[in-house]
Structure 1
Amino acid sequence: MAESVPRLLPAQQATLDVIRMPASQRPVYPQRFAADLRDRASDTLAPMVGAARALDSRGLWVSKRDLAGVFGCEARYLADSDAPFEWSVPAARGTVLHKAVELTAHRRFTPADAVDAAVERLIDDDANLGGFLAAATEGERADLVANCVALLTRFDETFPPMLRSWRPAAEIRARAQLCGGAFVLNGKYDLALGSPAPLDVPDGNQRAGKVIIDLKTGSRSPTDPEDLRFYALVETLSIGVPPLGVGSFYVAEGRIEHEAVTADVLDSALRRTIDGIGRLIALRQGIQRPRRVPGPPCRWCPISAGCEPGQAWLSDPDD
């Protein structure tokens, strides 16, 4: 039996209109498209293999955070990388919300029930975050749950209900190895809808069909579009077919910023990734002094107290 499409609120319809595209209009890629992209990446990265292996014999792992770090304030990136990560209520909020969204994609829950179930699942299944949640005070846990219930309620009112035929999936880990594993592009998508499809033709062309979405519980970042293009690149290299589109859904705004994935988008993502890998290697080898780029992140940077450009930015009343 076909699924009935529920009547949608205006914000839900607006989101659906952005991410939906009729199958007949979805781009088709030749069978070797991803293989050619991989070959280009491997050929360009080949001179860096020795340096990557010297830094880590298991391969140099590269994430969207690494790329954002080397294209932003490198000093802050290194400081954040050296500092041990500690869970907090704000840090846990996104993960709990993502788990709650995953649960609601497969079963109808009220927001409060979904968040409670998400917290219980994470305590049982995630030794790291689960330990923090289990040890949290009553006040911390109440604050976390209240925040996530509010965000999930907002999500439910502005994002269209996910039908099973959309094949919704949350918290998807994806990796692409290059140069025999010397480089590992690593990503985790908050939400994915749809799937690619092979065409019934002799040349083996593939039709794009998946939309990758990042759920944003905080404010916008200038790197959000580039983060998603990196995900599109990882997806293409890992499964062999580009996604149909990528988007950041800003939960508080109830709005999605979407971009259709094209060959040009993937080419841009590949060039940025290769450039970023070169910068990352040079930074970790210590052959270049890390750049200091002042801006809003100075407010929570762990080294801002001893950073001249950061202190100048923080003391400027216009900023």
Structure 2
Amino acid sequence: MATTAPALLPAQQATLNAIRTPAERRPAYAHTFAAELRDEAETALAELMDAARDMDSRGLWVSKRSLAGVFGCEARYLADEDSPFEWTVPTARGTVLHKAVELSIHRRFEPEDAVDAALERLIADDDSLGSFLAAASEGELADLTANCVALLTRFSETFPPMQRAWRPAAEVRARARLGAGSIVLSGKYDLTLGSPAPLGGSDGLQRAGKVIIDLKTGSRSATDPEDLRFYALVETLSVGVPPLGIGSFYVAEGRIEHEAVTAEVLASALRRTVDGIGRLIRLRSTEHEPRRHPGPPCRWCPISAGCGPGQEWLSDPDD
């Protein structure tokens, strides 16, 4: 017996319309596409491989965060790298929400139950976040729970219910090793839907089918589209087939900004990644003076008190 698709709220339907592409309109790629892209990447990075290996015998690990850092304020990026990370209720919020969404994929939870289960799982983990949550006060946990329940409720009202046929997966780690591990591109996708598939036949074509989604619990950032294009590059190099699409889902807005992945998008991501790796290597040399780029992040920058451009920006009454 055929099953009837669930009725959707307007925001859910808008999200589904943005990320859904009929099979006949999904691009197909030659089985050599990813190998050729890898060759292009390693050729472009050839002069940086030795420097990357000299910096760390395990290879230079590159993430969307490190790329955003070197394309923004280099001084702040270095300060953040040198400062030990400390969990707070605001910084834990996104991780708790992601875990609650992950649990909700495979079992229908009410938002309060999903958040409680997420906190229980995270506290049980033997890591820094688990330790922070275990030591948090009742007030901090209540605040965190209330925030995450509100966000998850908002998510459930604006994101279409995920079906098993979509093959949803959360907190997906991906890596692409270049130059025998001299450089490692690393990412963790908040959510993926769908999967690629071979078309069969002698031409060996592979059809794109996966959508990679970042769940955003805060405000928009200018680097959000570039972050996802980096993920598309990592996915292509690691799986061998480009994703079908990428998107940032802004939970408070209940809106997704979606982009179809094309060869041109991947070429742009590769150029930015190569440029960023060069900047990372130069920045970590003692001869390079870090560039200072004042802006909204100055409000929470750990070195803003001693930064002239930062203080000038913060003192501007029109900022």
Q: TM-score range, shorter-chain basis?
A: over 0.9
Distance change (3 Å), C-alpha of 1:278 and 1:108: same
Counterpart CA distance in 2 for 1:5 and 1:305 is 56
Counterpart CA distance in 1 for 2:2 and 2:257 is 30
Q: Indicate the SS of the match to 1:8.
A: coil
What is the CA distance between 1:2 and its match in structure 2? 6.0
Q: 1:6-17 to 2 correspondence within 5 Å?
A: 6-17=6-17
Aligned to 2:281: 281
Establish whether residue 210 from structure 1 lines up as the match of residue 210 from structure 2: yes
Q: Indicate the SS of the match to 2:54.
A: helix
Counterpart CA distance in 2 for 1:57 and 1:141 is 40
Q: Which amino acid aligns with 1:241?
A: V
Aligned to 1:237: 237
Q: 1:18-57 to 2 correspondence within 5 Å?
A: 18-57=18-57
Q: Indicate the SS of the match to 2:192.
A: strand
Task: Tell me the TM-score normalized by structure 1.
Answer: 0.99
Kept after mapping to 2: 8 A contact 1:216/1:249: yes
Aligned to 1:62: 62
Q: 1:116-131 to 2 correspondence within 5 Å?
A: 116-131=116-131
Aligned to 1:152: 152
Percent identical: 78
Kept after mapping to 2: 8 A contact 1:3/1:163: no
What is the CA distance between 1:3 and its match in structure 2? 5.4
Kept after mapping to 2: 8 A contact 1:27/1:208: yes
Q: Indicate the SS of the match to 2:45.
A: helix
Counterpart CA distance in 1 for 2:2 and 2:275 is 47
Counterpart CA distance in 2 for 1:213 and 1:62 is 19
What is the CA distance between 1:286 and its match in structure 2? 2.3
Q: Which amino acid aligns with 1:217?
A: T
What stretches of structure 1 of length at least 5 have no aligned partner?
A: none
**CA offsets 1:189-220 (integer angstroms, 9 cap, x no match):** 00000000001111111000000000000000
What stretches of structure 2 of length at least 5 have no aligned partner?
A: none
Q: Indicate the SS of the match to 2:213.
A: strand
What is the CA distance between 1:5 and its match in structure 2? 1.9
Q: Indicate the SS of the match to 1:316.
A: coil
Would you say how many aligned residue pairs link Structure 1 and Structure 2? 319
Aligned to 1:221: 221
**CA offsets 1:278-302 (integer angstroms, 9 cap, x no match):** 0000001123110000000000000
Counterpart CA distance in 1 for 2:185 and 2:92 is 24
Query: RMSD value over aligned CA atoms?
Result: 0.9
Q: Which amino acid aligns with 2:183?
A: F
Aligned to 1:272: 272
Q: Which amino acid aligns with 1:115?
A: V
Task: Tell me the TM-score normalized by structure 2.
Answer: 0.99
Establish whether residue 313 from structure 1 lines up as the match of residue 313 from structure 2: yes
Aligned to 1:178: 178
Aligned to 1:293: 293
